[in-house]
Amino acid sequence: MSVKTTFTMNESFPMNAWYATAWDVELKHELLARTVCNKKLVLYRKKDGTPVVLEDACWHRLLPLSKGSLRDDTVVCGYHGLEYNSDGRCSYMPSQETINPSACVRSYPAVQKYRFIWVWMGDPALADEAKIPDMHWNDDPEWAGDGKMIEVKCNYRLVVDNLMDLTHETFVHAGSIGDRNVAEAPFDVHYDEHTATVTRWMKGIDPPPFWKSQLNKKIKYDGRVDRWQVIKFQAPCTVNIDVGVAIADTGAPEGDRSQGVNGYVLNTMTPSTNQTCYYFWAFVRNYNLQDQSNTIELREGVSRIFAQDEDILEAQQAAINANPEREFYNLNIDAGAMWSRRITDKMVEKEQKA
């Protein structure tokens, strides 16, 4: 397959979607500024723990409310002292008894789930919590792990492209998780209205250093393995990757992974601006659950690997900016990314027609 296509770089995100804005531990009873879908937001956690997301601009003179302060659960503007409750309604104006009824800032639906704070940027009436992408492994007691957030200077779709085609591991991550097997193994692609899935099995191979080390934490073994990567995209910006290795010929491809180690790489990329994004990720495992040192080792190891991706993605964005008219061709390896883009394009197109 060689299909000519162009990347969509402008306003290429749907508004009617849940976007991760912070890790649960980031949000405290204090003001936090974030930009999502080109909108300035101020976030905080109420005293009862409820997350709040408001427009980050005072109704009076547009000073960012994030430069103000919190008094109980009320936001106080740092310029003239106007106060806003958690619904965004102005509750106090200095030196006057009456409050202009139009004095308010937009309040956005916000939910904490799967260790992330999610915000709905579109029509509040459509903010169904059931539409939050499934990332349950992140707080499932049968899995252990942790992650971080990276502010990447590229359009969020470039990160999706990167994750949907892991052949880049061979060249970007050689020496850790990448080897020739990833680039040479066949793969299958399936898709529906909301998801695209890429499945790759590498049978009877020597494990790369990262997976050899992890397998030996559970099973002392120095031979060949069956390795898998099942990459699932959930529109518009979540990619969960089922990864692992098992001793070769012990039934892993048929579903028996008892002779191996299994992890999930959880990724959700929130568009900040057209050319920047918040990349939330975690690596979780279903072995050595009580070993906190293993959690830290994996988190920091994956962090170093993703820093390599960050360097590549930002260089790619700069090259695209320098060649705005350049058209791109898809290869076979781009099938997962291509379907992910098409699914997201349809979401954006549907909103524009509404």
The pair of three-digit structure tokens given for residue 296, joined into one six-digit string: 């830290």
Q: Is the pLDDT of residue 90 over 70?
A: yes
Confidence of residue 7 (pLDDT cuts 50, 70, 90): low
CA distances from 124 to 14, 16, 36, 120, 129 (A): 14, 9, 16, 7, 11
Burial class (CB in 10 A: 0-12, 13-18, 19+), 273: middle
Tokens 């962090």 -> residue: 303
Distance CA 336, CA 188 (A): 9
Cis peptide before 209 (omega within 30 of 0): no
Q: What is the mean pLDDT of residues 279-290?
A: 96
Tokens 């109420």 -> residue: 46
Tokens 């997301």 -> residue: 53
Question: Could you tell me which residue, 327 or 21, shows the higher pLDDT?
Answer: 21
Q: Which residues contact 78 (CB under 8 A, 6 or more apart)?
A: 63, 65, 67, 68, 69
pLDDT at position 179, please? 72
Q: What is the mean pLDDT of residues 163-173?
A: 84
Q: Is the pLDDT of residue 278 over 90?
A: yes
Percentage above 90 pLDDT, the chain: 84
pLDDT at position 334, please? 87
Distance CA 204, CA 212 (A): 13
Can you give the length of the chain in residues? Answer: 354
Distance CA 11, CA 131 (A): 21
Tokens 């820093």 -> residue: 307
Give pTM, 2 decimals: 0.93
What value does the mean pLDDT of the chain take? 93
CA distances from 37 to 13, 16, 61, 276, 332 (A): 7, 11, 22, 10, 31
Q: What is the mean pLDDT of residues 65-84?
A: 97
pLDDT digits (tens, 9 = 90+) for 107-151: 999 999 999 999 999 999 999 999 999 999 999 999 999 999 999
pLDDT at position 54, please? 98
Q: Is the pLDDT of residue 163 over 90?
A: yes
pLDDT at position 316, please? 93
User: Which contiguous run of DSSP H or E holds residue 209?
Assistant: helix 209-218
pLDDT at position 161, please? 93
Q: How far apart are the first and last CA of the chain?
A: 34
pLDDT digits (tens, 9 = 90+) for 291-345: 999 999 999 999 999 999 999 999 999 999 998 888 888 888 888 999 999 999 9
The pair of three-digit structure tokens given for residue 123, joined into one six-digit string: 């029509």
Q: What is the mean pLDDT of residues 61-82?
A: 97
Confidence of residue 2 (pLDDT cuts 50, 70, 90): very low
Q: What is the mean pLDDT of residues 213-234?
A: 94
Amino acid at 226: D
pLDDT at position 77, please? 98
User: Which contiguous run of DSSP H or E holds residue 95?
Assistant: none
pLDDT at position 5, please? 55
Question: Could you tell me which residue, 26 or 327, shows the higher pLDDT?
Answer: 26
Q: Is the pLDDT of residue 193 over 60?
A: yes
Q: Is the pLDDT of residue 4 over 60?
A: no
Q: Is the pLDDT of residue 11 over 70?
A: no
Question: Can you tell me whether residue 343 is helix, strand or coil?
Answer: helix
Q: Is the pLDDT of residue 37 over 80?
A: yes
Distance CA 155, CA 158 (A): 6
Asked whether 247 and 260 are in contact (CB, 8 A), the reply is yes
> Which residue in 244, 317, 323, 252 sits closest to 279, CA to CA?
317
Question: Can you tell me whether residue 14 is helix, strand or coil?
Answer: coil
Q: Are strands 116-120 and 18-23 parallel, antiparallel or unpaired?
A: antiparallel
Q: Is the pLDDT of residue 266 over 70?
A: yes
